[in-house]
């Protein structure tokens, strides 16, 4: 995995020059494509993909007390309180598989979360990739999103439909629509994004780690744009 070619050299060789863990922060509103790209990106770079939304959904499914707390916020389209998210996220990035870096999807979502994360990034190469998609397309993407109950693979009713309706191509698991992807909750999530999460664009812009991407094209072409942005500073070392 680490031997992938980026910008004319392998990721492994450029990393051995840099000798720093890489932390990729995937940013963008709901439906921008964070989850779609985070998983294959993690596989290509050989580092874990951490989605705070997925961690909450696992906790909800396992009926933990964390899941119970999170559920009421998620189903109202609101953010889970910072303290709850931070405890969960820090416990995850303290795991040994994050030593070489990790990809964050859906975190941070507030300036307070970003500030709390900062001390943990001191010895890492940080790249914040912001996926830009016009609002009408976001609504279409989210209201058409389907996910596999078993393996989490994402589909879209129109853009990436499964071969067999309601069934995952990879594991034959059942596909479902998230409760918070209904149009009325999505409206609230987009408002919350503008008010609480969008300021992070300026936050990471000031730190000079922000990369802006037009993410309105096909998943394949967007994925290559994301890879280009990650390769560039790594290859320069």
Please give the residue ranges that form the binding site for ligand ADP (CB under 6 A): 28, 30-36, 141-142, 144-145, 154-156, 159-160, 218-219, 222
Lay out the sheet containing 22-27: strands in order across. 49-51, 101-105, 22-27, 125-132, 210-214
Window of 16-24, 61-69, 75-83, 121-129 that interacts with ligand AMP by CB under 6 A: 75-83
Residues labelled as active-site residues: 34, 109, 145, 178, 189
Q: How far is the CB of 123 from ligand ADP (least distance, A)?
A: 28
Q: Does 85 bind ligand AMP (CB under 6 A)?
A: yes
| CA pair distance 99, 95, nearest whole angstrom | 8
Residue 109's binding partner among ligand AMP, ligand ADP, none (Cβ under 5 to 8 angstroms by kind) is ligand AMP
Q: Which of 102, 107, 203, 223 forms a contact with ligand AMP (CB under 6 A)?
A: 107
**Which letter does DSSP use for residue 150 in this model?**
T
Residue 193's binding partner among ligand ADP, ligand AMP, none (Cβ under 5 to 8 angstroms by kind) is none
Instruction: Report 5-34 residues binding ligand AMP (CB under 6 A).
Output: 30
Residue 153's binding partner among ligand AMP, ligand ADP, none (Cβ under 5 to 8 angstroms by kind) is none
Residue 102, phi then psi, degrees to nearest 5:
-165, 165
Task: Kindly give the residue spans of alpha helices, DSSP state H, lying in the chain.
Answer: 11-18, 34-45, 52-61, 65-75, 82-93, 111-117, 135-143, 183-192, 199-206, 219-236
Of 112, 56, 64, residue with least CA distance to 80: 56
Spell out, one character per residue from 124 to 163, where the chain touches ligand AMP: x when CB under 6 A holds, - when not.
Answer: ----------------------------------------
Please answer whether residues 149 and 173 qualify as being in contact, where contact means their C-beta atoms are separated by less than 8 angstroms: yes
Distance of CA 103 to the CA centre of its chain: 7
Q: How far is the CB of 121 from ligand AMP (least distance, A)?
A: 15
Residue 12: count other Cβ atoms within 10 Å of its Cβ.
Answer: 13
Binding site for ligand AMP (CB under 6 A): 30, 52-53, 56, 73-74, 78-80, 85, 106-109, 113, 180, 189
């Amino acid at each position: 995995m680490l031997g992938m070619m980026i910008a004319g050299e392998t990721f492994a060789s450029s990393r051995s020059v840099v000798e720093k863990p890489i932390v990729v922060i995937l940013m963008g509103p709901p439906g921008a494509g964070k989850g779609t790209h985070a998983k294959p990106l993690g596989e290509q770079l050989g580092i874990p993909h951490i989605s705070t939304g997925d961690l909450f959904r696992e906790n909800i499914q396992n009926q933990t007390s964390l899941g119970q707390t999170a559920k009421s916020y998620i189903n109202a389209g609101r953010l889970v309180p910072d303290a709850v998210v931070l405890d969960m996220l820090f416990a995850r990035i303290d795991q040994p598989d994050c030593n070489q870096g990790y990809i964050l999807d859906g975190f941070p979502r507030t300036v307070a979360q970003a500030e709390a994360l900062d001390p943990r990034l001191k010895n890492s190469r940080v790249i914040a990739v912001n996926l830009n998609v016009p609002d009408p397309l976001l609504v279409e993407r989210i209201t058409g999103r389907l996910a596999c109950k078993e393996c989490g693979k994402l589909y879209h009713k129109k853009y990436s439909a499964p071969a067999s309706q309601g069934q995952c191509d990879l594991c034959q698991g059942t596909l479902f629509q998230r409760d918070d992807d209904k149009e009325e909750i999505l409206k609230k999530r987009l408002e919350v994004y503008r008010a609480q999460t969008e300021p992070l664009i300026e936050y990471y812009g000031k730190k000079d780690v922000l990369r802006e991407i037009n993410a309105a094209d096909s998943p394949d072409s967007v994925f290559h744009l994301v890879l280009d942005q990650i390769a560039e500073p790594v290859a320069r070392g």
